[in-house]
A and B are shown apart, each in its own frame.
Chain A
Amino acid sequence: GAGVSQSPSNKVTEKGKDVELRCDPISGHTALYWYRQSLGQGLEFLIYFQGNSAPDKSGLPSDRFSAERTGGSVSTLTIQRTQQEDSAVYLCASSSLTGLETQYFGPGTRLLVL
């Protein structure tokens, strides 16, 4: 079956613009995670969705970042008024059960804010 897919693969935007990043998890996976990988900070957790539960947003760095997951499947990460420090690779992962299963990662979206 298909793995986790993300789009776009690359995104270049101007400072101050909004961007939307998309994640399609593995079919049937109820848990979905967003992580960010940047040169200065390594790989860090952003947000987590599990089924119909309220998302864990504890990793979002500012209120410019938000995410939603529609129908328990596709997720969109939105960054408003982008800043240069938002430049990073945004990775999405999914797993079938919280805490029990391997997290499977997508190829990431490389965001460059000019």
Chain B
Amino acid sequence: KQEVTQIPAALSVPEGENLVLNCSFTDSAIYNLQWFRQDPGKGLTSLLLIQSSQREQTSGRLNASLDKSSGRSTLYIAASQPGDSATYLCAVSRGGGATNKLIFGTGTLLAVQP
């Protein structure tokens, strides 16, 4: 059974710092991995999607890497801003069949202090 873990559970940093969020998964047979952010009381916003054949994806100040063989992904946020404060979730999909359901980690609650 696929299990997804995120470390740390919570993180508080001063504005301007670079930071790394970690995600690990137990079954390396994934199809893709997505990073989401969730603001309080809101739905999920997709940040980056990495296919299993890819090593990394970048969008603006965000960079996500994937090491499928070791079951790890990191989300790097450069020059953090107070607006980055949210819960960050990673999710993996198995694909290769009829369902591409996502298995989610428990999230990292990020607070960027001005």
**B61 located at the interface, meaning its Cβ lies under 8 Å from any Cβ of chain A in the complex:** no
- If A42-B104, A43-B89, A43-B104 touch, whether A102 touches B46 (CB-CB below 8 Å) is yes
Q: In whole angstroms, how far apart are the Cα atoms of A33 and B100 in the complex?
A: 9
**A38 located at the interface, meaning its Cβ lies under 8 Å from any Cβ of chain B in the complex:** no
Instruction: Flag if A44 contacts B34 (CB, 8 Å).
Output: no
**B95 located at the interface, meaning its Cβ lies under 8 Å from any Cβ of chain A in the complex:** yes
Q: How many residues on the B side are at the interface (Cβ–Cβ under 8 A)?
A: 25
Among B91, B100, B106, contact of A99 (Cβ-Cβ < 8 Å): B100
Instruction: Flag if A103 contacts B102 (CB, 8 Å).
Output: yes
Q: In whole angstroms, how far apart are the Cα atoms of A52 and B102 in the complex?
A: 21
**When each residue 85-114 of chain B gets 1 if its CB lies under 8 Å from chain A and 0 otherwise, what string results?**
000010101011011111111110000000
Complex contacts, B46 vs chain A, CB 8 Å: 102-105
Q: In whole angstroms, how far apart are the Cα atoms of A103 and B100 in the complex?
A: 10
Instruction: Flag if A107 contacts B34 (CB, 8 Å).
Output: no
CB closest chain-A residue, reference B104 = A43
Q: In whole angstroms, how far apart are the Cα atoms of A80 and B42 in the complex?
A: 25
Complex contacts, B36 vs chain A, CB 8 Å: 105
Whole-angstrom distance from the CB of A108 to the nearest CB of chain B? 5
**B32 located at the interface, meaning its Cβ lies under 8 Å from any Cβ of chain A in the complex:** yes
Q: Which A residues have a C-beta under 8 Å from some C-beta of B?
A: 4, 31, 33, 35, 42-45, 48, 50, 53, 56, 58-59, 91, 93, 95, 98-99, 101-108
- 6 nearest A-B pairs in the assembled complex, by CB-CB distance: A99-B95, A43-B104, A105-B44, A45-B101, A99-B100, A107-B43
Given A105-B44, A106-B43, 14 new contacts (CB under 8 A)? A33-B101, A35-B104, A43-B89, A43-B104, A45-B102, A48-B98, A56-B98, A91-B44, A93-B44, A98-B95, A98-B98, A103-B100, A105-B43, A105-B46
